[in-house]
């Protein structure tokens, strides 16, 4: 099992290497895909072999670095026809076009757009290919390192905020949380956003559990506070990020979880033996008023949480903030191909053993099954937009933002 979505060998600035985990093959097959050009970056992002707003930005940026490295390679420059390598101005002009091409791979997640805007500034301020490559290398290393450190800060901020709120309500029992899609290590440079909060909550619960177990049985155990002891991840049709990716991460981390169908949320909350006290979701784009684009199904999860009085938190780093767009009405929501909905992609399972069927090379066999008539039309938006009115808090690496008495978020200090 590998939770490393991106393998970036940065040991030699002049010879970096990039590979991404092919998430279409998870959870049964671990296979990495090399990234040598912007075309490679575009392809793996478009096909969703790599996905998740922060990971998309990182892989997109790494694909630019890899292509710039190729431009410094005589064998490549002599055989390719795309670039006029006679001078850096001509390279710069073509690279600008290539950045615009890459941006189009997944238009809703703002992280890629924010990262490519920074790369365009570096390109503009570089006089030579070598200086561009060095500055780009430093930018991408910082992007990756900041993402990881910010995810841990965000996770701890979200966990601390919820536990403090529950304590203020004198709630000190075990509880469960809901989450949708995949917002963990497979969507970022590690630890995750919403799943990072879940990791931090579980770390707190584990510490309390071991304290209770190791305490002197005779002494009255000072019962700790509330503990998150269960997670309900939604399967997240039609791409199944929840069942294929989030469940995979939770099993990997030994965090107690029960995977549930998207359509069962209301009934799960209504019948759960363990109180469900919060939902933590990720984001692909948070606009100025707090309206948030996230995986399709998030909006209805927020509505259901409101109905049951369950706290609903969006969790995202500053790199997911769109400081230009005023409201959710301005967000372009990507629609995916109909076949991604009418076919279910996965690993072929032997009905008798429940194990993956192996192909000739001994690897689990990938396959697709059709679940809708060829002739039916479908609507397959990749995201929806949750109004800020349904969001109780926005968890970031800076802190947790809540609404004022008028019900408005003030996210000004998140606008770069």
Binding site for ligand LNRAV4D5 (CB under 6 A): 51-54, 181, 183, 187-188, 193, 241, 282-284, 294-295, 382
Q: Minimum Å distance from CB 148 to ligand LNRAV4D5?
A: 13
**How far is residue 209's CA from residue 255's CA, in Å, rounded to a whole number?**
13
Residue 66 or 188: the one with the smaller Cβ distance to ligand LNRAV4D5 is: 188
Is 9 among the residues known to form the active site? Answer: no
- Report the Cα 266 to chain-centroid distance in Å: 25
Residue 184 or 364: the one with the smaller Cβ distance to ligand LNRAV4D5 is: 184
**Strands 343-347, 366-370: pairing kind:** antiparallel
**How far is residue 188's CA from residue 55's CA, in Å, rounded to a whole number?**
4
Residue 72 or 261: the one with the smaller Cβ distance to ligand LNRAV4D5 is: 261
- Please give the C-alpha separations between residue 330 and each of 293, 323, 373, 385, 391, in angstroms, as whole numbers: 10, 12, 34, 10, 18
Q: Minimum Å distance from CB 129 to ligand LNRAV4D5?
A: 32
Q: Minimum Å distance from CB 51 to ligand LNRAV4D5?
A: 3
SS3 (DSSP) at 356: strand
In contact, 302 and 291? CB cutoff 8 Å: no
Residue 27 preceded by cis peptide, ω within 30: yes
In contact, 193 and 183? CB cutoff 8 Å: yes
**How far is residue 298's CA from residue 2's CA, in Å, rounded to a whole number?**
27
Q: Minimum Å distance from CB 224 to ligand LNRAV4D5?
A: 30
Residue nearest to ligand LNRAV4D5 (CB): 282
Residue-wise DSSP of 36-91: -SHHHHHHHHHTTSS-SHHHHHHHHHHHHHHHHHHHT-HHHHHH--S--TTSHHHH
Strand partners, 294: 384
Q: Minimum Å distance from CB 314 to ligand LNRAV4D5?
A: 9
Catalytic residue (choose from 284, 291, 322, 392): 284
In contact, 235 and 261? CB cutoff 8 Å: yes
Residue 269 or 286: the one with the smaller Cβ distance to ligand LNRAV4D5 is: 286
Residue 54 or 328: the one with the smaller Cβ distance to ligand LNRAV4D5 is: 54
Helix and strand element counts for the chain (H, E): 12, 14
Q: Minimum Å distance from CB 47 to ligand LNRAV4D5?
A: 12
Residue 107 or 225: the one with the smaller Cβ distance to ligand LNRAV4D5 is: 107
**How far is residue 231's CA from residue 389's CA, in Å, rounded to a whole number?**
25
Q: Minimum Å distance from CB 170 to ligand LNRAV4D5?
A: 32
**How far is residue 25's CA from residue 352's CA, in Å, rounded to a whole number?**
22
Residue 5 or 269: the one with the smaller Cβ distance to ligand LNRAV4D5 is: 5
Catalytic residues: 284
């Amino acid at each position: 099992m590998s939770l490393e979505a991106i393998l970036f060998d940065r040991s030699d600035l002049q010879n970096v290497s990039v590979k991404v985990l092919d998430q279409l093959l998870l959870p049964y097959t671990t296979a990495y895909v090399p990234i040598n050009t912007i075309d490679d970056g575009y392809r793996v992002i478009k096909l969703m072999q790599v996905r998740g707003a922060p990971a998309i930005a990182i892989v997109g940026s790494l694909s630019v670095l890899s292509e710039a490295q190729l431009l410094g390679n005589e064998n490549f420059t002599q055989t390719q026809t795309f670039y006029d390598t006679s001078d850096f101005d001509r390279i710069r002009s073509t690279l600008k076009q290539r950045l615009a091409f890459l941006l189009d791979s997944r238009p809703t997640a703002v992280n890629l757009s924010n990262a490519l805007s920074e790369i365009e500034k570096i390109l503009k301020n570089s006089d030579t290919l070598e200086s561009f490559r060095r500055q780009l290398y430093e930018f991408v290393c910082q992007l990756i390192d900041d993402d990881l450190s910010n995810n841990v800060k965000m996770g701890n901020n979200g966990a601390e905020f919820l536990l403090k709120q529950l304590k203020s309500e004198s709630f000190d029992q075990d509880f469960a949380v809901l989450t949708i899609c995949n917002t963990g290590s497979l969507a970022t440079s590690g630890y995750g956003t919403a799943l990072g909060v879940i990791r931090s909550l579980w770390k707190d619960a584990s510490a309390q559990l071991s304290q209770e177990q190791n305490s002197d049985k005779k002494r009255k155990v000072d019962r700790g506070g509330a503990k998150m002891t269960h997670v309900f991840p939604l399967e997240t049709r039609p791409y199944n990020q929840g069942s294929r990716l989030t469940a995979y991460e939770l099993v990997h981390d030994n965090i107690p979880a029960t995977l549930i169908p998207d359509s069962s949320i209301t009934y799960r909350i209504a019948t759960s033996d363990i109180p469900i006290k919060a939902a933590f979701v990720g984001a692909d784009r948070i606009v100025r008023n707090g309206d948030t684009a996230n995986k399709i199904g998030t909006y209805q999860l927020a509505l259901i949480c409101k109905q049951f009085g369950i706290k609903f938190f969006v969790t995202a780093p500053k790199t997911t903030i769109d400081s230009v767009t005023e409201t959710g009405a301005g967000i372009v929501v990507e629609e995916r191909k109909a076949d991604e909905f009418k076919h279910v992609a996965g690993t072929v399972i032997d009905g008798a053993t429940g194990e993956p069927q192996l192909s000739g090379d001994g690897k689990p066999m990938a396959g697709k099954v059709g679940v809708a008539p060829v002739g039916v039309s479908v609507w397959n938006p990749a995201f929806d937009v949750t109004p800020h009115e349904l969001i109780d808090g926005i968890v970031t690496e800076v802190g947790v933002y809540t609404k004022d008495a008028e019900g408005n978020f003030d996210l000004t200090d998140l606008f770069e």
